[in-house]
Structure 1
């Protein structure tokens, strides 16, 4: 019983932060973060400029060689057996060319998104972004050009937008991380860090 309870707590650690499913063929980067091999490849194939870890944003001057994390694979297999989780049948992210028209409005799911609200964590077409532009309630919301990687911008621990960059730990963090684990660390906004990397 205790063994099964401890297994239940492992699911988050065995979940890819890109596809949000249990790892399939996990690979690890030098920063220590792991992803499904196909998810990481698909994410990197969408990048035009430099490659970085989708979780902590550590930049890589050249594409690192991806090696299977055999220990994580073994733990994952034991978890699948003991928790009764079947082998994955899901299709992983497809390797595709970056297409800005592919970002659709999260409200109507049809029209092309023209803006992404980083406060709402949603993309909107011209019609559905109008309240953000016209209503004073939304004045403090942060709008950006449409972003295809919204899930990558969420903290895997707290589910909040990673708005800050911790200089000490060289990672993007959310406001809760800043008040908890990174209390006392020097930080800048994530946008400032992205600007510095360009």
Structure 2
């Protein structure tokens, strides 16, 4: 009996010339190229996922790192500082010239996930060769010859691809 890990989920046989997709799934190269099945939307799973996403959004609240007495909800996180700010404490980022250049994003709990662990800089680029977020310093080093784009551009294109898949 073949271990499931060695079996292609399209042809249900042992892998022939195995390849891995960017999301980590394995298939035979020919199955992925030639026998790709028609994809159908799993409406039940979609509803369950939407329910849990909403549940997570309702629970996750990010608070200002600078409020002392009563912590206010954060509206933005700064990848350059790195800190989260309520409307009041964010004000200098809109007024002070050097702070205006900082990279602001919608408030997030896991701010460390948006900062390069190697260079402590914002992960504001996407390496298409390695399918990962990178910082500017990464593109001057090991990703120097790779195809990198602003993360916002990759995100917009991914959303467009996902929308086209569901149509």
With normalisation by structure 2, the TM-score equals 0.57
Residue number among 43, 47, 53 corresponding to 1:48 in the alignment: 53
Query: What RMSD over aligned residues (CA atoms) do the two structures have, in Å?
Result: 2.9
Number of paired residues? 112
Provide the residue aligned with 1:30 in structure 2. 24
CA distance in 2, matches of 1:174, 1:146: 20
Residue 182 of structure 1 is aligned with which of 140, 143, 146?
A: 143
Could you say which residue in structure 2 is the equivalent of 1:114?
75
Higher helix fraction (1 or 2): 2
1:171–1:152: structure 2 CA closer, same or farther, 3 Å change rule? same
Q: Helix, strand or coil for the counterpart of 1:128? A: helix
In 2, Cα distance between the equivalents of 1:164 and 1:172? Answer: 6
Structure 1 unaligned segments of length 5 or more: list them: 1-28, 32-43, 50-95
Q: 1:172 aligns with which of 121, 133, 138?
A: 133
Deviations 1:132-163 (A, max 9, x none): 11222212122222122311112233332211
Point out the structure with max Rg over C-alpha: 2
Supply the distance in 1 between the matched residues of 2:132 and 2:51 (Cα, whole angstroms): 21
Larger RCO (alpha carbons 8 Å, 6+ apart): 1
Following superposition, the deviation at residue 46 of structure 1 comes to 10
Q: TM-score, normalised by structure 1?
A: 0.49
